[in-house]
Structure 1
């Protein structure tokens, strides 16, 4: 047995420590799938014909897959990882038949699913943190098959080039300054691959990222081809700054101009997402990053990257709208109400205005469900929600808290001059009859109201006080309303409130 020198152990330990530190600094582990990385493994599988293609990152105790195709799991223990051998050697690893290789023949990934036979992996390297002199292997771009195979030289060259593309994608995360240089490097790699595979030309378009440069002396812009494509204009000379800003709506234009000015004044990089209209007048959402380019200690230009993120933005907006909208009634959800009322409370205090919250509970709603079915109950909820969106309430905010409970936030100063009359009108509007097969049930609403102000200065206190007023109103007479702090009951359709002593519970 060969004895390993303790000095060699120290070198290996330092190498692994630096490698793991670099991997951690990139923030790649356990991140969601990204279409740029997914596109690379799809191309690797499609163009080589192997069943599995992976971008694998080797962590301390596991290998985790940043991108995968043909495999269901997201990670495996490091002790079973073929990729760990390629990382340790910092070199290409080819295993024509794992069952005949002493290193892997008893490996659970060979003896069981996914039944690895062939493996080829190319190390993916990144620059060690705080230095440009050392590139460390983070993982591999690899292809796997369940049939023993001899590697094709053309396939290996393709994997090497695709591994370089993965490295370029990772490197763009480090800083906006290096993003331009790495984008050019990626473009050169793509052009090389395009001579062999036309499909690979789609990769940059799939990323939808371009680069730009703004010279400070004359405000002239230089754009990469993809930046022109995002703008919807032919490739040509850069536009002056004032013309380039014309693609942005006024608010977005101000954001971009302010960001550019701040970076030029302070040297701080910027990263903004704004609205954008291309040359065809089509709406887009774009992300722009930039920082200063220095020459002998003097700023000479702004450099950065430009990305069309419309699809992602639209998806996020759709998800946000769905989360903020009650599915049944199509008015605001409880979550949206919580956000809105907190902002409104701050604005109300800041503007010295009044605000009131109405907690609305439907009477006899359970009986509707029990006697006529949940479809009838659902219709009652939709009707009540629609009435809370009536024209005279257009400046109010209505939401469904859940079940048969609604809330109405009133900040319309004209309506608030006579809150009792509004409550009386609402009690009338929220009366509804349900009938079927000779049976009829009358649904009404009981309301508890609370003014914002004094000790009532947050959402929780507003809701608690309104709920207490609602409880008192229900205890005395369903289909009525009470305002927290006032000993009077409000009935439907009455101009004046009814003193409690005249109401028989």
Structure 2
């Protein structure tokens, strides 16, 4: 049994059987209530079901092919029985109780369900009023009250049935018939009262017209919709006068067609009540045919103004961003699809601009989400002011926006619009006395040149945006087909790198660091190499772009750490005096927040003292949202004995502040300054300044890219501590390091530097 059963199942079944209604056939009154429920609540299906031991029987239904009933397992009423109030399922596909139901997966494909339990006595639910629709939706409390009133009417029908049976028994036993009539009168009065309440709650009323005499009759509910006093004599002229002229003609055409073809209809029309308020009404019409002619037309008039307003609000919420009010991704795709169809017919062009705010994450992480939200709202405002009324600005999520340019004359207008947007975003945005950057990077695609369908255009705009970010941000880049090739190459490279990691193709090579005063090797830098099975040994210049993938960057870093600590342990066992090994660490490795534990654990497992390791970082890891994590990680490593080196010193913009904020033992002079040190006075001045800065702060200096004795001599004469480069050795595999150390002649290296210095003097 795959369905729930109420705890009082036996009592419930006894109540059902005592009612003795299962074999009584369909009820015309209940069918009428089902029809009323559908029309009042604008739903496709309605039924009244009574739940037997293992089956649900339909006592009435409207809107779908006549059925005797359903199995209890497939019955929605099975779940309605469990509660005392209305059961609402806004979307059956999102509800695990119904997602596999045969009436959800198959005809009539139910997506929305409302069920009201039917109980003649509290706690003994014998069935339910079931309302269905093939579209998901929500019900207001006012609509739920209508459902409750309708279910009360149904209960009254069963009570009437029960009372009638009881009256018959009483008559059969020659009891007083007067009491039965009084009881039935009370029940009828209750039904009429409940129907009147339903009319008021649902803002609905009934109308009827005698076709031959044109005599029009309204219920009190129609009078209330018109704003007129109930009971007042009315005519078709008065009824039609409250509709605007076009709506009046539309209804008359519909009504005349119905009379001619004898077909019912339903129509929604604008309406003005007696108080001058503009409303929207739904009018349905049924026909009574006698012989060859229509003798009577009747139906329901309902004020659906609030219902339509609620639907519009729901549509807006489903299709717009809650923060900025801009269209969301789904609505944008619909608009883009429509714009492309129009462009194909007119021969015009369509532009798709994908914009990404450059420093949004930094704002969020440093100033909080309130500042981030304010920045998004301001960016949305500026973007909207940059485009025409026919264009659309949407927020895709996060800090990404899309600008749709429709019906433009030429492809060049896309870049013109992008430059206009960049100019509008260039000025800072002040939030609580703090100036925030509103700058963005933009990828531009044009249809039909760069694609003719939404998916292709959006994909190519994303590729162009990637290029814009890589170009330094704050720029607009138009898509070029070669970018697609580069993207595919990058994806292929990433896949190949993952395979190389699995196959153990990455390994460290070691380049020695030499003391400029003594010529001795004081340590090594571990440099990543890829032993490619077809291309041979590759350096980072061949695959460095994969470090943009955070997961790959971390995986490669973990691989390099494991191999480096293994090699250091091996050299220690051989008694090699290798000094230390420097290891480069990337931003994504810091972002994980567990870098110190991972490094110290690897050293401990290999039996390598922490002072044997130098962690080298570039200034980029100090920037952005991970700065605090980086600071804490470096301090933890430094306190454990690991040395910290700042790589590529002088190429950033805040090096001096970094020396103050972070624990730095060594600074490395970038090779770009060392290369022309003999000929470029600016480079020479920068190198001297860095060396002097290091000496003043008690920080050792290491020069990279030293290739000539003259460069070494200059560095030595100006007080630089260490140097590395091809002058001493290229990077070597771990197996060759012991031989290098054994054959190293420190005195000869020192003398070479001295001789070069003497020649220079």
What TM-score range do you get, normalising by the shorter chain? 0.5 to 0.7
Distance of aligned partners of 1:403 and 1:159 in 2 relative to their CA distance in 1, 3 Å threshold: closer
Partner of 1:239: 235
Equivalent positions of 1:345-360 (< 5 A) are: 345-360=340-355
| DSSP 3-state at the match of 1:332 | coil
**C-alpha displacement of 1:319:** 1.8
Partner of 1:276: 271
1:288 aligned residue (271, 278, 283): 283
Distance of aligned partners of 1:473 and 1:163 in 2 relative to their CA distance in 1, 3 Å threshold: farther
Partner of 1:87: none
**C-alpha displacement of 1:265:** 4.2
Equivalent positions of 1:127-142 (< 5 A) are: none
Q: Is the counterpart of residue 335 in structure 1 residue 320 in structure 2? A: no
Tell me if the contact between 1:56 and 1:67 (Cα under 8 Å) persists in the aligned partners.
no
Distance of aligned partners of 1:399 and 1:252 in 2 relative to their CA distance in 1, 3 Å threshold: farther
Partner of 1:213: 208
TM-score (norm 2): 0.40
Distance of aligned partners of 1:436 and 1:287 in 2 relative to their CA distance in 1, 3 Å threshold: closer
Aligned counterparts of 1:200 and 1:396: Cα–Cα separation in 2: 50
Distance of aligned partners of 1:444 and 1:161 in 2 relative to their CA distance in 1, 3 Å threshold: same
Distance of aligned partners of 1:313 and 1:487 in 2 relative to their CA distance in 1, 3 Å threshold: same
Tell me if the contact between 2:160 and 2:187 (Cα under 8 Å) persists in the aligned partners.
no
Equivalent positions of 1:106-255 (< 5 A) are: 160=156, 163=159, 192-193=189-190, 202-214=197-209, 221-234=216-229, 235-240=231-236, 244-249=239-244, 252-253=247-248, 255=250
Which structure has more relative contact order (CA 8 Å, sep 6+)? It is 1
**C-alpha displacement of 1:251:** 6.0
Of 364-373 and 411-420, the range deviating more from structure 2? 411-420
Q: Is the counterpart of residue 318 in structure 1 residue 313 in structure 2? A: yes
Tell me if the contact between 1:449 and 1:481 (Cα under 8 Å) persists in the aligned partners.
yes
**C-alpha displacement of 1:215:** 5.1
Q: Is the counterpart of residue 404 in structure 1 residue 399 in structure 2? A: yes
**C-alpha displacement of 1:204:** 3.2
| DSSP 3-state at the match of 1:394 | coil
User: Greater CA radius of gyration, 1 or 2?
Assistant: 2
Tell me if the contact between 2:50 and 2:128 (Cα under 8 Å) persists in the aligned partners.
no
Aligned counterparts of 1:398 and 1:424: Cα–Cα separation in 2: 16
Q: Is the counterpart of residue 372 in structure 1 residue 367 in structure 2? A: yes
| DSSP 3-state at the match of 2:324 | coil
Of 423-432 and 215-224, the range deviating more from structure 2? 215-224
Partner of 2:469: 474
Tell me if the contact between 1:387 and 1:430 (Cα under 8 Å) persists in the aligned partners.
yes
| DSSP 3-state at the match of 2:469 | helix
Aligned counterparts of 1:70 and 1:388: Cα–Cα separation in 2: 52
Distance of aligned partners of 1:470 and 1:392 in 2 relative to their CA distance in 1, 3 Å threshold: closer
Tell me if the contact between 2:386 and 2:420 (Cα under 8 Å) persists in the aligned partners.
no
| DSSP 3-state at the match of 2:439 | strand
TM-score (norm 1): 0.57
**C-alpha displacement of 1:402:** 0.1
Distance of aligned partners of 1:16 and 1:381 in 2 relative to their CA distance in 1, 3 Å threshold: same
Aligned counterparts of 1:389 and 1:253: Cα–Cα separation in 2: 40
| DSSP 3-state at the match of 1:411 | strand
Partner of 1:447: 442
Tell me if the contact between 2:207 and 2:216 (Cα under 8 Å) persists in the aligned partners.
yes
Q: Deviations over 1:150-192 (max 9, x none)?
A: xxxxxxx996468569xxxxxxxxxxxxxxxxxxxxxx98972
Aligned counterparts of 2:235 and 2:334: Cα–Cα separation in 1: 42
- Alpha-carbon RMSD: 4.9
Aligned counterparts of 1:189 and 1:208: Cα–Cα separation in 2: 25
**C-alpha displacement of 1:358:** 1.5
Partner of 2:421: 426
1:461 aligned residue (456, 464, 478): 456
**C-alpha displacement of 1:390:** 1.0
Partner of 2:258: 263
Distance of aligned partners of 1:251 and 1:418 in 2 relative to their CA distance in 1, 3 Å threshold: farther
Partner of 2:388: 393
Aligned counterparts of 2:398 and 2:264: Cα–Cα separation in 1: 49
Q: Deviations over 1:416-463 (max 9, x none)?
A: 873332221111112243678998663411112222337833322221
Aligned counterparts of 2:387 and 2:431: Cα–Cα separation in 1: 31
Partner of 2:97: none
Tell me if the contact between 1:368 and 1:434 (Cα under 8 Å) persists in the aligned partners.
no
Aligned counterparts of 1:162 and 1:203: Cα–Cα separation in 2: 18
Aligned counterparts of 2:259 and 2:236: Cα–Cα separation in 1: 17
Aligned counterparts of 2:345 and 2:159: Cα–Cα separation in 1: 56
**C-alpha displacement of 1:301:** 4.4
Distance of aligned partners of 1:392 and 1:269 in 2 relative to their CA distance in 1, 3 Å threshold: same
Tell me if the contact between 1:410 and 1:416 (Cα under 8 Å) persists in the aligned partners.
no
Tell me if the contact between 1:293 and 1:299 (Cα under 8 Å) persists in the aligned partners.
yes
Tell me if the contact between 2:348 and 2:409 (Cα under 8 Å) persists in the aligned partners.
no
| DSSP 3-state at the match of 1:268 | coil
Tell me if the contact between 2:328 and 2:395 (Cα under 8 Å) persists in the aligned partners.
yes
Aligned counterparts of 1:190 and 1:203: Cα–Cα separation in 2: 16
Distance of aligned partners of 1:432 and 1:191 in 2 relative to their CA distance in 1, 3 Å threshold: farther
Distance of aligned partners of 1:163 and 1:403 in 2 relative to their CA distance in 1, 3 Å threshold: farther
Partner of 1:178: none
Aligned counterparts of 2:421 and 2:401: Cα–Cα separation in 1: 13
Q: Deviations over 1:360-419 (max 9, x none)?
A: 111122122222222221111111001122175333211101000011111264798733
Tell me if the contact between 1:56 and 1:66 (Cα under 8 Å) persists in the aligned partners.
no
